[in-house]
Amino acid sequence: MAFTHVCLWTLIAFALTWTVFYVTNRKKKATELADAAAEERRDGAADVIIVGAGVGGSALAYALAKDGRRVHVIERDMREPERMMGEFMQPGGRLMLSKLGLEDCLNEIDAQKATGMAVYKDGKEAVASFPVDNNNFPYDPSARSFHNGRFVQRLRQKASSLPSVRLEEGTVKSLIEEKGVIKGVIYKNKAGEETRALAPLTVVCDGCYSNLRRSLNDNNAEVLSYQVGYISKNCRLDDPENLHLIMSKPSSIMLYQISSTDVRCGFELFPDNFPSIAKGEMATFAKNTLAPQVPPKLRKIFLKGLDEGAHIKAVPAKRMTATLSNKKGVIVLGDAFNMRHPSVAAGMMVLLSDILILRRLLQPLSNLGDANKVSEVIKSFYSIRKPMSATVNTLGNAFSQVLIASTDEAKEAMRQGCYDYLCSGGFRTSGMMALLGGMNPRPISLIYHLCAITLHSIGHLLSPFPSPLRIWHSLRLFGLATKMLVPHLKAEGVSQMLFPANAAAYRKSYMAASVF
């Protein structure tokens, strides 16, 4: 009897132990499977990882998701950015935005219409408008100015409204690389945990302060100058539909309406002459040196922000030529890829144009897992974007140099020539405004107008009759213009810029509306 009891209890104990072991093991396995599945979902489900949800990252996420891709966007700060950049969208940029289906992101942000530019120099003023009769431009020929942060938030909302976009707050620390192929990213999520995300394609779109660019491209950004600015609140320009450009000394001043009540006031300064913002020297400099050069009808608004202690910001204006990364499975876009002087307010336009080209090139690839095919696409993208991006970049870099005041007679003649040409009316004004507005970003048009400005300036310098000194200054002016243009054209790659196949491929990217 006792023996039977012992056997029975042993059996029960064995059965219980086995059951507990079995259940625990199954649970463990289930947890492991669930973890693996979660890991798979977290790391493997996306077709594309985008680093940064600024203008570029958000617009690209929307475009790719519309094409059926699953997109994981990682953005380090989801709050509305407060930045002094990307506040003016050229008509060409608006066209790109509409082609991406994102034009409504300019609604409900109190964006202001701009039909051109009022230019002031030495007491004279003239209005240069975007051409309204440009048959090649199938869109409303006006720009929009706005608070950049509001626009970015609208783009983020629009992208994340698509079910295949996962917009996550997190900071990308590094790229995961295996044998020259980028497999994904390591990032710190909102909870502060370090985690990984894997996808066949990673797009680095982390802006002008990019940390990731360095591991992909050997291109370095060059700081050209600093854009200094502040907002004058609760005021309205007399002529709010024009951006106001004052060709002052040492460099230009800009005022434009960025909401129905806010006016952006900005100017350019160089590192060798940079008053301290913290010590109040910058405000004093703006009041004492710049304000007297601002036309009286704008001066009150220029001074308003300064008198009310508006927050003065300084942002570096950088130039960086685009270069291709030799790593596979990755694309760099936006300010992390290519920058030009912001004087032509065209960074967003080039970026949106890049997104359109890239999207179109990626469309035929049903899956992005073939790193070699994706690499071919990236190479084509790099060539096709050249005619447009190189035109805008060269224009921006050359225009910014012309705007700098100088005591050199030849340089000053160039500056005067630029003002006269831009404000002369007729085809010169409309040609230049079509270039500046991204309505006709063709290299040939750029070269034509830049040569015409140079000849116009030389003509001005030689008049009323060509004395030996005037001829000498004219020759120097010609030398200066060449020096101004050639390095930019060389950096951009003249042959790629002018290569007819690239121009044809660029036009094809916009075939739907047969633009440019």
The CA–CA distances, whole Å, from 468 to 105, 294, 350, 461, 465 equal 58, 36, 44, 12, 10
CB of 181 to ligand FAD, least distance (A): 20
- Chosen residue from 55, 201, 384, 395 binding ligand FAD by CB under 6 A: 55
Position 354 contacts ligand FAD (CB under 6 A):
no
Cα-flanking dihedrals φ and ψ of residue 443, to 5°?
-55, -40
Cβ atoms of 175 and 212 within 8 Å: the answer is yes
Bridge partners (DSSP) of residue 182 are 177
The contact pattern for ligand FAD, residues 90-119, with x = CB under 6 A and - = no contact, is ---x--------------------------
Q: Where are the beta strands (DSSP E) in 53-150?
A: 71-75, 88-89, 112-114, 116-121, 124-129, 143-145
Cβ atoms of 31 and 326 within 8 Å: the answer is no
- Chosen residue from 42, 64, 72, 88 binding ligand FAD by CB under 6 A: 88
Q: Which is nearer to ligand FAD, 96 or 481 (CB)?
A: 96
Q: Which is nearer to ligand FAD, 47 or 268 (CB)?
A: 268
Q: Which is nearer to ligand FAD, 335 or 420 (CB)?
A: 335
The contact pattern for ligand FAD, residues 389-428, with x = CB under 6 A and - = no contact, is ----------------------------------------
Position 74 contacts ligand FAD (CB under 6 A):
yes
Position 54 contacts ligand FAD (CB under 6 A):
yes
Position 53 contacts ligand FAD (CB under 6 A):
yes
C-alpha–C-alpha distance, residues 236 and 238, integer Å? 6
Q: Which amino acid is at 431?
A: G
C-alpha–C-alpha distance, residues 275 and 456, integer Å? 36
Position 241 contacts ligand FAD (CB under 6 A):
no
Task: State which of positions 168-207 bind ligand FAD (CB under 6 A).
Answer: 171-172, 205-207
Q: Which is nearer to ligand FAD, 264 or 304 (CB)?
A: 264
* The 3-state secondary structure of 239-298, one letter per residue: CCCEEEEECCCCCCEEEEECCCCCEEEEEEECHHHCCCCCCCHHHHHHHHHHHHHCCHHH
- Chosen residue from 48, 50, 69, 86 binding ligand FAD by CB under 6 A: 86
Q: Which is nearer to ligand FAD, 336 or 423 (CB)?
A: 336
Contacts of 160 (CB under 8 A, 6+ apart): 73, 167
Region of 70-78, 98-106, 365-373, 400-408 interacting with ligand FAD (CB under 6 A): 70-78
The contact pattern for ligand FAD, residues 455-494, with x = CB under 6 A and - = no contact, is ----------------------------------------
Contacts of 77 (CB under 8 A, 6+ apart): 169
- Chosen residue from 57, 92, 116, 431 binding ligand FAD by CB under 6 A: 57
Rg (CA), the chain: 28
Contacts of 251 (CB under 8 A, 6+ apart): 225, 267, 268, 269, 270, 403, 404, 405
- The burial of 315, by beta-carbon neighbours within 10 Å (0-12 exposed, 13-18 middle, 19 or more buried), is given as middle
Position 253 contacts ligand FAD (CB under 6 A):
no
CB of 73 to ligand FAD, least distance (A): 9
- Chosen residue from 46, 50, 51, 355 binding ligand FAD by CB under 6 A: 51
Region of 18-26, 132-140, 285-293, 330-338 interacting with ligand FAD (CB under 6 A): 330-338
Position 441 contacts ligand FAD (CB under 6 A):
no
Q: Which is nearer to ligand FAD, 57 or 329 (CB)?
A: 57
Residues touching ligand FAD, count (CB under 6 A): 37
The contact pattern for ligand FAD, residues 203-232, with x = CB under 6 A and - = no contact, is --xxx---x---------------x-----
Position 351 contacts ligand FAD (CB under 6 A):
yes
Q: Which is nearer to ligand FAD, 77 or 218 (CB)?
A: 77
Q: Any alpha helices (H) in 363-467, and if so which ranges?
A: 371-384, 386-403, 409-423, 426-436, 443-462
Task: State which of positions 331-350 bind ligand FAD (CB under 6 A).
Answer: 334-336, 342, 345-349
Coil, helix or strand for 3? helix
Q: Which is nearer to ligand FAD, 53 or 481 (CB)?
A: 53
Cβ atoms of 146 and 112 within 8 Å: the answer is yes
CB of 430 to ligand FAD, least distance (A): 21
Bridge partners (DSSP) of residue 438 are none
First to last CA, the chain: 101
Which chain residues interact with ligand FAD by CB under 6 A? 51-57, 74-77, 84-89, 93, 171-172, 205-207, 211, 227, 315, 317, 334-336, 342, 345-349, 351
